[in-house]
Amino acid sequence: MVSWPILALAAASFGIGTTEFVIMGLLPEVARDFGVTIPQAGHLVSGYALGVVIGAPLVAMATAPLPRKAALLALMAVFTFGNLACALAPGYGSLMAARVATAFAHGAFFGIGAIVARALVPKEKRTQAVSLMFAGLTLANVLGVPLGTALGQALGWRATFWAVVAIGVAAGSAIALALPGGMPGTRGGLAKEFRALGRWPVLRPMLVSTLSSVSFFTVFTYIAPFLLGVTRLTPGEVTGALFAAGIGLTVGNLAGGWLADRSLMRTVLGSFLGLIAVLALLSLVAPYPVPALAVLVLWSGLAFALVSPLQVWVVEAASDAPNLASTLNQGAFNLGNALGAWLGGTALTLGAGYAELPALAAFVSLLGFGLVATALTRPRSPSLAGSQGRP
């Protein structure tokens, strides 16, 4: 099922994922270079996330009429030139502006890329195709971020952005060569897109996407101090644990796509149930390194098993105007990233301990499960019903 066009999309998602997350490993170097504090440099992370949330609907509307291959190539050009601007940024402000501009390509690329990936394969393999595209994003956490961090520490943080520019050029070339033409943009104009967004069956999976991200980032944002303070790992062991979690989320992403092609809603419901149980278990085994590591890997896999099924759910629900809905779902995920970090941080500020964060995340997952369950109590559209398999 793996094809050159989907591999080209995965390569692009690897580059986008690397540029999003690698800055976290380069904060000391950036702060030192520009004479700002590390917390100030940390705003480069939230600035990118804000760029995704704001840019997703704007860019989706701008690219909706374009043929999808042309839209993806334009987005890769924005991504590549944005990273070039990051590599050449003379100051903190210009680096922030370049990061935000680069982020504008993020949501639309994954939104349109998910639609294209589905169109390249038979109907029974559509979610697997989307998960293969997103595999580039998960591999960015496993390989791109540590390698990019090491490169930046050895040769300076600008070298990392030059490397991402090279990835952008290579991925854009691969898309130009491998992706077939003949995939028109959305017809019917922006009014049709917004009418689709106004329907609860479209808004519901977007809200579920946000809740899934809130649950994950409530804990994952603070996973290093959690493992250091509660599980009592050494810094070197924390690095190994995060690498293992990266493997877990990569495998979970692929497994979620495979399972969802057999039953979309069962996969989403089962993943949320698994998350609730595993997060409760993590609270209990956190002080014990071996079981804590096993549960950490399982938790990361279940969390990312939801990504491609939720993306496909949104696309199926808005099948008459998928561009804006699919892209906005990427904004929903990123909004959840920010809200999860805020929720966990607020709980810690109010006196909660790191060991209590999994219970809070389990409650958010319970809300997600309940919202998904409401979708099964009402009549489904023919396209969504067909994608869910037999009840």
> Cβ–Cβ contacts within 10 Å for residue 117, how many?
28
Distance between CA atoms of 216 and 300, rounded to whole angstroms? 8
Only one residue has tokens 């639609």, namely 115
Distance between CA atoms of 114 and 127, rounded to whole angstroms? 9
Which of the four CATH numbers 1.20.1250.20, 1.10.3720.10, 3.40.50.2030, 3.40.50.300 does domain 192-387 have?
A: 1.20.1250.20
Which helix (DSSP H) or strand (DSSP E) does residue 247 occupy?
helix 235-260
Estimate the crossing angle of helix 157-178 against helix 68-88, to 10 degrees: 160
| Domain 4-185 belongs in CATH node 1.10.1040.10 | no
3-state helix, strand, coil in the chain (%, to 5): 85, 0, 15
pLDDT value at position 27? 82
Among 154, 159, 36, which residue's Cα sits nearest to residue 94? 36
Q: Please report, in tens digits, the pLDDT of each residue of the chain (391 residues total).
A: 458 899 999 999 999 999 988 887 788 888 889 998 877 887 888 788 888 888 888 887 788 788 889 999 999 999 999 999 999 999 999 999 999 999 999 988 998 999 899 889 998 898 999 999 999 988 988 888 888 888 988 899 999 999 999 999 999 999 999 998 877 766 655 566 666 677 889 899 999 999 999 999 899 878 888 998 899 988 888 878 888 988 999 999 999 999 999 999 999 999 999 999 999 999 999 999 999 999 999 999 999 999 999 999 998 888 776 777 888 898 899 889 888 888 988 898 899 999 999 999 999 999 999 999 999 875 554 444 444 443 3
DSSP of 70-90, one letter per residue? HHHHHHHHHHHHHHHHHHH--
Q: What does the DSSP 8-state code read for residue 288?
A: S
pLDDT value at position 191? 64
Which helix (DSSP H) or strand (DSSP E) does residue 359 occupy?
helix 357-375
**Ranges of CATH 1.20.1250.20 domains, the chain:** 4-185, 192-387
pLDDT value at position 2? 59
Residue 391 one-letter amino acid: P
50-79 as b/e: b if 16+ CB within 10 A: bbbbebbbebbbebbebebbebbbbbbebb
pLDDT value at position 299? 97
Question: Cα 349 vs. chain centroid, distance in angstroms?
Answer: 27
pLDDT value at position 385? 45
Distance between CA atoms of 94 and 105, rounded to whole angstroms? 18
pLDDT value at position 306? 97
